Structure 1
Amino acid sequence: MPAFNKTIAALCLIAPCLAGAETRPEHMVYVRSIDPSIEQDIRYATAHNFTGHALDGYEAPECLLAEDAAKALARVQSTLRAQGYGLKVFDCYRPSRAVADMGRFATLPGDPTKAEFYPRVSKQDFWKLGYVARVSGHSKGSTVDLTLTGPGALPAAVGMPGAKQVDCTAPYGQRWQDGGLDMGSGFDCFDERAHTANSAINATAKANRLRLTAAMEKEGFVGYSKEWWHFSYNGNPALTEVMNFPITPLALESSQQLIVVTSKNWTDIQGTAQRYQRHGKTFEKTGEPFAVVLGKSGLAWGKGLTVVERRAGPVKREGDGKAPAGIFKLGTAFGYDNRADTRLPYLPLSPTVECVDDGKSERYNQLVDGATVSKDWNSSETMRRKDDMYRKGIFIEHNTPAAAGAGSCIFFHIWRAPDSGTLGCTAMEPANIQQLFAWLDPRQQPLLIQLPEAEYAQLRESWGLPQR
């Protein structure tokens, strides 16, 4: 085996060997809980990064840092906001398994993202050139990748780049728009133009880099000469432990109420639901389990609070007859009555209320009153039905914000029959939907967790789910 491949093979063995790597340490905090005004675009939780896939260990697009570093970053944000600017983070804590995933990528054939992220270098040279570290400061909770936002920033592009990739060193306005100011190159651009002191970039980009660097250095962060976006906090020399716990949703850690729905397998249309209430650090069952029916074609991974791009199993699409699997927030309750006994926000369903399922509409996956808004859709579902299925229901925040074609109009609602699958919703008998109306409290940040039994068992520990 060539020396390079031996090195990478050794790197790829690091993650499984680390002791105590599965539980989030107390000193690691969600930046969103410290300062929610700091924008987040966690690239390694998506396929839009130099590897072309979501990295191992990124179960959710969340930024975590050691508490000292997170508070220092919040001070940077406060300083910049007073000047009319702000921060947007691309990566924070990075599990060591994700670093190993980067190593594996360098040994695999193909360059799916070369045209955008590394058009002038070989991926086998990432380490030699200093663009990727074998042991990353990100894995110690002290390092953050970010950009500067503010006046004149172009809006962030939505979705993923098209088939034609644009060089990350292309002029601002031509390359991928991340919502930040012109910094002279895109994020994760493995090129000399991304070097912090590069002299070839324009005056505006130089000024933006200087502003970002000055604000970060003032609060104890040190930049990296080859990546303008990369800063490590040096205010706590004790941050030396390489960690490997997975990144999971903040919402799951802060939720006080869970509804857990499981089915026998991906294609089963029937399932069992159980309510849970948090007591301290654990969830305890509330009430008895009850039967539900799922999509007529079973379950498929949905677009919720977790990253599902690399998971085995089907992925939900519009019109597939599958209910979404994953973790989801719960939204508005609705029904035929003018008022309802619930603490959830409530929408009375008039005959003109529709749920838009046209992926080309700006109101895709929204409940709208067709009598009061300008119609830009060709397909929708009338919510005031002739039967009782929507007499009481709750909007499940799948595909929110909406991506065209990823599925829409997913609810809890009353079932047609205990053996009649839905078009993608989760349905139950009237007494149980009434029970949810009375029990759910938005102040307790309730969540739906919906999975086949095997996936629930596999993910229970890493996601911190209750014992069934």
Structure 2
Amino acid sequence: MKTIGSPKSLASFFHFLGFSPKSKQFQCHKYHSITVLFSFLYFFCPLPVESQGNSPPESPLWNSEQILFITAKAGETTGYLDVYTLNEGEWTSVLEKIPVRLGRNGLLSGLEKREGDGNTPTGVFPIERIVGKQKKQIRNLEYTQIRKHYHWSDSPTSKNYNKLIKHREKGAVLLWDSTIYDLFIVIEHNTKPAVPGRGSMIFLHSWNEDKPTSGCVGVSKEVLETLVSVLDGDKKPSISIQILD
């Protein structure tokens, strides 16, 4: 199976989005394809991975065969989710142009993200962990079934800052009491290591309210269930969150 870095698979992705590299001018079948293309090019270029603090990764390219693209204009609190997976050398669509809710102050570079600023951080993040209240079988990804005493620390002064903990702690958020934490995908912003004050609890979770999130990415419960069902750790899934000019 070819990876995202393969020229052939890249050409296939151009073709899938409605572009013909052989023509004198790229022609797009629909405007939204352009936004996904820009996000893909950002993902493909050798840029630092913002989820890992200030330390660049060993390799600038992700070897991913499943990509979640989240795109929005600067300052907007709504955006779109597109999901693609590589099967037998061809990129295929899983979900297209799914509305998402973003932080109350829109998107902001993950390097500038700060605790409580209301921004959703941009960057390219590996998908490694899923958390939920129900027993689930997740393909080749870490899954944690939370209990009533599980918390997530968002206190910059805590040694457990931006970590899932199995006990009560001052300043930590109890996950059990909120329906938005029934199931969520961890967006690995500021997790390895967690730098105090650089932002915590950045998740892709269910969100049915007609208002922005506090800094996460919100989707409908149905979409989230679909995402979790198709994710496969063997494909090294990633999520790309980008601002559109």
TM-score by length of 1: 0.39
- Give the 3 Å change call, closer, same or farther, for CA 253–397 of structure 1 in structure 2: closer
Distance in 2 separating the partners of 1:357 and 1:250: 30
Query: What is the match of residue 407 of structure 1?
Result: 199
The amino acid of 1:316's aligned partner reads K
- State yes or no: 1:257 paired with 2:53: no
Which residue of 214, 226, 232 maps to 1:441? 232
Unaligned regions of 5+ residues in structure 2, if any? 8-44
Residue of structure 2 aligned with 1:299, choices 102, 107, 126: 107
> Which of 147, 156, 176 pairs up with 1:350?
147
Answer whether contact 2:81 2:95 (CA < 8 A) is retained.
no
Deviation at 1:250, TM superposition (A): 3.6
State whether structure 2 residue 97 is matched by structure 1 residue 289.
yes
CA distance in 2, matches of 1:252, 1:411: 23
2:136 corresponds to: 340
Measured in 1, the distance between the counterparts of 2:129 and 2:46 equals 29
The Cα of 1:279 is off from its aligned counterpart by 4.6
- Structure 1: gaps spanning 5 or more residues: 1-23, 27-56, 62-158, 161-246, 304-314, 455-468
Q: Is the 8 A contact 2:146 2:176 kept in 1?
A: yes
> Which of 407, 427, 433 in structure 1 is aligned with 2:218?
427
Distance in 2 of aligned mates of 1:251 and 1:279: 23
Change (3 A) 1:340 1:251: farther
In 2, Cα distance between equivalents of 1:252 and 1:415: 31
Distance in structure 1 (CA, Å) of the matches to 2:164 and 2:225: 21
- Equivalent residue number for residue 321 of structure 1: 118
1:315-358 Cα deviation digits (max 9, x unpaired): 21110011111101123211222x11422322122121111111
1: CA distance, partners of 2:150 / 2:46: 38
Counterpart amino acid of residue 336 in structure 1: K
SS in 2 for 1:360: coil
Q: What's the offset of the Cα at 1:251?
A: 7.2
- Contact 1:335 1:391 (8 Å CA) reproduced: yes
The counterpart of 2:173, out of the listed 362, 381, 396, is 381
Q: 2:62 aligns to what SS in structure 1?
A: helix
Is contact 2:149-2:166 (8 Å) kept?
yes
SS of the aligned residue for 2:224 comes to helix
- How far the C-alpha of 1:58 sits from its partner, in A, is 6.8
For residues 225 and 68 of structure 2, what CA distance do their matches in structure 1 show? 14
Aligned to 2:79: 271
Larger radius of gyration: 1
Cα displacement string for residues 35-94 of structure 1 (whole angstroms, at most 9, x for unaligned residues): xxxxxxxxxxxxxxxxxxxxxx97227xxxxxxxxxxxxxxxxxxxxxxxxxxxxxxxxx
CA contact (8 A) 2:106 2:120 kept: yes
Shift in alpha-carbon separation, 1:266–1:362, aligned structure 2, 3 A: same
Q: With CA pairs under 8 Å and 6+ residues apart, which has the higher RCO, 1 or 2?
A: 2
Map 1:136-215; keep pairs closer than 5 Å.
Answer: none
Whole-angstrom distance in 2 between the partners of 1:251 and 1:277: 20
Q: Post-superposition shift, 1:379?
A: 1.6
Q: What is the CA–CA distance in structure 1 between the aligned matches of 2:132 and 2:68, rounded to whole Å?
A: 20
1:262-285: CA deviations, max 9, x gaps?
Answer: 11x221111110111125676432
Determine the C-alpha separation between the residues in 1 that align with 2:78 and 2:71.
9
- Give 1:60's aligned residue: 48
Tell me the CA shift for residue 297 of structure 1.
Answer: 1.0
1:230-279 deviations in whole A, cap 9, x for unaligned? Answer: xxxxxxxxxxxxxxxxx98747431110000111x221111110111125
Q: Which residue of 2 aligns with 1:306?
A: none
Output the CA distance in 1 between the equivalents of 2:158 and 2:92.
Answer: 42
**Partner in structure 1 of residue 40 of structure 2:** none
